[in-house]
Chains A and B, each alone.
Chain A
């Protein structure tokens, strides 16, 4: 078996990240919208700007729109070609990565992502904005799940698959971290003075990561913000928790390098191990005592470093004389 080209590993990694990014955006858009519908009788307006903060695209958004409303945010996050993180752009980039490695992925994977790209091209933004994000976001979410499934079922689980797995998990860990951070900040700290404890909004957060039902099975209790945070950060099995994603990153990295437990072969593995220790042995109370925002910001920085170390270890070659 010949070794995998660095460029191909790079493309697989990013293909997975872009697909995951599209899915995460679709989830958040959809849930926020539904929450808005349910609460239309309330005297205050649901805020849409946190979604832009979560996507990390405040500047381009402000450049284009004067106000964050359901339709401007939906248009911006779903369709705008000048938003590099819009769903349509993410899928286009994922497909472009797939196209450069189509000889290395399965035919089914290529046809699936190519079909997804063409499907998105058939949506008319104006119509979808009028209809609301559900139909569009649901189609994206489902298509991203299918791509996961097709990849899992048709690609040999070799090094290439591990790079996919790491890309998915790293992106998801970042997305969940941002979600908790931004929602906590906005829901708990800012409006506390004027609003009653708002379970609907936390339900929406859980729903956006598909963890609503799991929460009830786990806690048998009304929805409480710190429990939601615990579930999304520390849960060992829920596939969208940060800890679960970190476990996936570690498993992928170890499968590639062949490293056993208790040691590391490169900086990315060392950092992942360190993060995972913290996620395993910290309680949510300790994290709150430390400061949730500080903890999540630290994590986000570490994910970035891990991404860079993976690139340094596997993707980039220093110029050889």
Chain B
């Protein structure tokens, strides 16, 4: 059935009782009034009865299960495999809005890369006192071993995942955090799209949706250009911690899509300053590594000595330039949550431009005035540990128990450098299917676009991963905390 405007009958029950509430609703500008770019989608869904929708939903779930697109939960001691919950209602962005976001992302990625070059190079920004030296040097992920290392083509941030949220108060997209170490999730962008085109082929016919599946090819091009051996076909590998890592599916997916070798630390060996992999016909040289292992675990000779995941001697080979790594080592200094509050200053300092995407207002507890404010307003704020990611080490003041707030007050007082606080952002919502009631419910979403940087240009896959807090009312979108995802559509036009 091609998508066509349908008369909304009174039995169109999927949206019965749907209330956008006081939040910015991505689909509706007011109760019952879809935004122009969502109009066709709304009318199409409204013409469906829940049973029809349910059938498609099960088809999508089955497709994820059969492809083994699961993540492993270890908390129950059994290592249960779960589906990453997927909601069929896409998050749609008109092209003009996306282009504004894209320019802002590109600006931010270029600035963060310049910052990393500088911090591990001349340190001009520190000498010019734009960021306190102590703040940078006390970052958990600052790596002294990288000082003076010239990385191939000057690229540190080959792959960035910049988390955005839309503030319900203003409708504006804000940067919530930067992820420039080993951001994950892009495989879900590609697989979600694949499943959507299989499950809702008719919906795609009505819209012109910009494709996303060129991501692996673009990444592969960037990796290829890092090879230290000019001329020869470079040997590229993806270094994974292995099957027990929760992102293992993504590692194998990307390796397969790029046609590069998926390796674990035990497959590699460093000899005479060169990295080799162990093949059935002896050792073969490795030139470029897309590593999905954290800095800490890369090389037991340099970082954590108890790491069994890494490769002894890898840092030596990297520093000597015989192997290229993406992303570079030491990037964590740029996505530290305290440094985050300086990113607008970083953009102005290196580019002489105002940031196109604003930050969420942030209190840095290492500043005395901010600390005092945070301690007095914990019940209204979101507190985050600066070096953590994935929703860990977090306090959401308005919903936290008093004991937990008290605990955080002690933690912050004991180690202010380790914490920042932000006001609770009222995230925008997208209608999402609630199986128990067979109705649409507004659920909060964020957006993680994936940015690739080749040293000259930032390439952003149109859209990105829309993470959704499927627990009604919840603001936490992380998959480790019960969140799910949606396909994100950037339209080639306005509607």
- Which A residues form the contact surface with B (CB < 8 A)? 2-7, 9, 96, 99-104, 107, 110-111, 114-115, 118, 159, 256, 314-315, 317, 320
From the candidates B68, B264, B271, name the one contacting A320 in the complex (CB within 8 A). B271
Q: How far is the CA of A6 from the CA of B266 in the complex (A)?
A: 10
Distance between B275 CB and nearest chain A CB, rounded to angstroms? 13
B243 lies within 8 A of A99 (CB): yes
Q: What is the bound-complex CA distance between A140 and B36, given in angstroms?
A: 53
Name the A residues within 8 Å of B242 (CB-CB): 100
Chain A residues with Cβ below 8 Å from B263 are 5
Contacts of B281 in A (CB 8 A): 3
CB-CB < 8 A to A115: which residues of B? 66
| CB-CB under 8 A for A7 and B67, given A102-B252, A103-B255, A159-B280 | no
Of the A-B pairs whose beta carbons lie under 8 Å apart in the complex, a sample of 22, sorted by A's number, is A2-B235, A2-B279, A3-B279, A3-B282, A4-B280, A5-B261, A5-B267, A5-B278, A6-B267, A6-B279, A6-B280, A7-B264, A99-B68, A100-B243, A102-B68, A102-B252, A103-B253, A111-B66, A114-B68, A118-B66, A159-B280, A256-B280
In the complex, are the beta carbons of B262 and A103 less than 8 A apart?
yes
* Contact bitstring B241-276, A, C-beta under 8 A = 1, else 0: 011000010001101100001111011010100000
Shortest CB distance B59–A (Å): 15
Return chain B residues, CB-CB under 8 Å to A103: 252-253, 255-256, 262
**Closest B residue, CB atoms, query A314:** B280
Q: How far is the CB of A290 from chain B (nearest CB, A)?
A: 37
Q: A4-B279, A111-B66 are in contact. List 4 more A-B contacts (CB 8 A).
A: A5-B261, A6-B280, A100-B243, A320-B269
> Which B55-78 residues have C-beta < 8 A from chain A?
65-68
- How near does chain A come to B229, taking the closest CB pair, in angstroms? 14
**C-alpha gap A101/B264 in the complex (Å):** 11
Contact A9 B66 (CB under 8 A): no
Number of residues from B at the complex interface, CB < 8 A: 27
Which residues from A are CB-within-8-Å of B264?
7
What is the bound-complex CA distance between A102 and B252, given in angstroms? 7
Within 8 A of A (CB), among B274-298: 277-282, 284
Q: Closest CB of chain A to B338's CB: distance in Å? A: 38
Across-interface contacts of B267 in A (CB, < 8 A) = 5-7
- Inter-subunit contact B280/A3 (CB<8 Å): yes
Residues of A within 8 A of B65 (CB): 118
CA distance A317 to B266 in the complex (A): 10
The answer for the CA separation of A3 and B281 in the assembled complex, in Å, is 7
- In the complex the two chains form, what is the Cα distance from A5 to B310 in whole Å? 17
Interface on chain A toward B: helix, strand, loop, or mixed SS?
helix
A3 neighbours in B (Cβ, 8 Å): 279-282, 284
Question: Which of B66, B248, B253, B277 contacts A5, CB < 8 Å?
Answer: B277
Closest to B243 in A: A100
CB distance from A91 to the nearest CB of B (A): 14
Most chain-A Cβ atoms within 10 A of its Cβ — which of B253, B279, B281, B284?
B279
A273→B261 CA distance, assembly (Å): 33
Pairs of residues from A and B, 7 with the lowest C-beta to C-beta distance, nearest first: A3-B279, A103-B256, A103-B252, A103-B255, A314-B280, A114-B68, A3-B281
Docked-complex contact A2 and B68, CB < 8 angstroms: no
Complex Cα gap A99–B81 (Å): 13
**B115-150 contact mask (Cβ, 8 Å, vs A): 1 or 0:** 000000000000000000000000000000000000
**Given A3-B279, A3-B281, A102-B256 contact (CB < 8 Å):** yes
Q: Kindly identify which residue among B256, B278, B282, B284 contacts A2, using a CB–CB cutoff of 8 Å.
A: B284
Q: Which of B66, B242, B255 has the most CB of A within 10 A?
A: B66
Q: How far is the CB of B482 from chain A (nearest CB, A)?
A: 23
Given A102-B256, A111-B67, A115-B66, verify A9-B235 contact (CB < 8 Å). no
A96 touches B243 (CB 8 A): yes
Min C-beta distance of B312 to chain A, whole Å: 11
Q: Once the chains are docked, how many angstroms separate the CA of A256 from the CA of B278?
A: 16
A312 smallest CB distance to B (angstroms):
12
Q: How far is the CB of A141 from chain B (nearest CB, A)?
A: 21
Bound CA–CA A47/B263 (angstroms): 48
Residue of B with least CB distance to A112? B66
Whole-angstrom CA separation of A27 from B235 in the bound complex: 45
Residues from chain B with a CB closer than 8 A to the CB of A2 are: 235, 261, 279, 284
Q: In the docked arrangement, what's the CA distance between A2 and B269, Å?
A: 17
Q: Which of A6, A7, A110 contacts B68 (CB 8 A)?
A: A110
List chain A residues, Cβ under 8 A from B67.
107, 110-111, 114
Interface residue from B256, B261, B280, B282 paired with A9 (Cβ < 8 Å): B280
- Determine the distance from Cα of A4 to Cα of B284 in the docked complex, in whole angstroms: 10
Cα A46 to Cα B262 in complex, Å, equals 50
Closest Cβ neighbor of B67 among chain A residues: A111
A7 in contact with B253 (CB, 8 Å)? no
Distance from B36 Cβ to chain A, minimum over Cβ atoms (Å): 39
State A107–B69 Cα separation when bound (angstroms): 12
Query: Which residues from B are CB-within-8-Å of A111?
Result: 66-68
Complex Cα–Cα for A317 and B276 (A): 12
Shortest C-beta distance, B283 to chain A (Å), equals 8
Q: What is the bound-complex CA distance between A110 and B264, given in angstroms?
A: 20
Nearest B-chain residue to A102, judged by Cβ: B252
Residue of A nearest to B251 (CB): A103
Asked if A6 and B278 make an inter-chain contact with CB atoms under 8 angstroms apart, the answer reads yes
A85 to B242, CA, bound (A): 25
Expressed in whole angstroms, the Cα–Cα distance for A104 and B67 within the complex equals 15
* Smallest Cβ-Cβ distance to A321: which chain B residue: B271
Closest chain B CB from A314 CB (angstroms): 4
Q: How far is the CA of A6 from the CA of B281 in the complex (A)?
A: 8
> A9 to B279, alpha carbons, bound, how many Å?
9
C-alpha gap A9/B281 in the complex (Å)? 11
Query: B233's closest neighbor in chain A, by CB?
Result: A2
Residues on the A chain within 8 Å of B243, using CB: 96, 99-100
- Smallest beta-carbon distance A308→chain B, Å: 16
Contacts of B261 in A (CB 8 A): 2, 5
Among B68, B242, B266, residue most surrounded by chain A Cβ atoms (within 10 Å): B68
Return A156 CB to nearest CB of chain B, in Å: 13
Residues of chain A within 8 A (CB-CB) of B66 are 111, 114-115, 118
Contacts of A110 in B (CB 8 A): 67-68
A100–B264 Cα distance when bound, in Å, is 10
Residues on the B chain within 8 Å of A114, using CB: 66-68
Residues of chain A contacted by B68 (CB below 8 angstroms): 99, 102, 110-111, 114
Chain A residues lying within 8 Å of B235, measured Cβ to Cβ, are 2
Query: What is the bound-complex CA distance between A3 and B255, given in angstroms?
Result: 15
CB distance from B72 to the nearest CB of A (A): 10
B444 CB to closest chain A CB, in angstroms? 32
For the complex, give the distance between the alpha carbons of A7 and B262 in Å: 10
Q: Which residue of A lies closest to B236 (CB)?
A: A2
Q: What's the Cα separation between A7 and B261 when bound, in Å?
A: 11
- Chain A residue at minimal CB-CB distance from B263: A5
- Chain A residues with CB under 8 A of B280: 3-6, 9, 159, 256, 314-315
Does A104 lie within 8 Å of B262, measured CB to CB?
yes
